[in-house]
Amino acid sequence: MACPFSGFKPACLPRFAKRAGGQGVKEIKDRDMKHGKSTVSLIFILSLILGVIPNPRFTHAEHGEESIDLILDSAEKFFISLRVKDYRAAWDLLSEESHEKIIDDVYKDSKKMGLGIEKKTIIKDFKSNGAMFSNYWIAFHNNFDPDMILEQSRWEMGFIKKNQAEIIITYKKSENPAILKMFKEGGMWRVGLVETFWTRKY
């Protein structure tokens, strides 16, 4: 059976992995608040080199600890939901762009397989936790270990804007971080899974 997410690149994900040294998101947030000046300075330097923060002066200036907590908590909940196979919760934490692209990928793959499924049928299936929804996430989970991110990576905040933010996540065996894109939609922070990993124009 064809992979239900043709745009997904598992090879990208080992860079993204678990929180290094067993550090949790809460520990990292506490550490950053206690040692904010040196930590933020280091992030700024690295980010400038990597080109992820165009103007470091405004990264955290207008956003308090509460905003950072909400962003990190949404991201953590997404990967925890994957780990415990609560795919509905994981889906509800994704951005609208991720929803649309994932459904579009499933529709395109179904056409290639000659199944003749209409897109509105796929949308209805995903809304009702149907077979296609379950099969998609099972296949996703089989190609990606959420514990790589939750247990073996270091999490740090990148920039924060009104409705967008980035989390810098570095796998313990990698020098290159993954930049997880977050979007504030409907009053809550959501994970830009597609915007982060799918190979397109992001």
Using a 10 angstrom Cβ sphere, with 0-12 exposed, 13-18 middle and 19 or more buried, the burial of residue 7 is middle
pLDDT tens readout for residues 156-190: 999 999 899 999 999 888 888 999 999 999 999 99
* 15 Cβ contact partners less than 8 Å away, ≥ 6 residues apart: 170, 171, 174, 176, 177, 178
User: For the chain, what are the domain ranges?
Assistant: 15-197
Each residue's pLDDT tens digit, 53-77: 333 323 443 456 778 999 999 999 9
- Which of 14-23, 41-50, 97-106 shows the lowest mean pLDDT across its residues? 14-23
Specify the DSSP element, H or E, that contains 68: helix 65-83
Which two tokens mark 124? 């209805």
Note the pLDDT of residue 116: 87
The top-scoring range by mean pLDDT among 16-30, 103-117, 187-201 is: 103-117
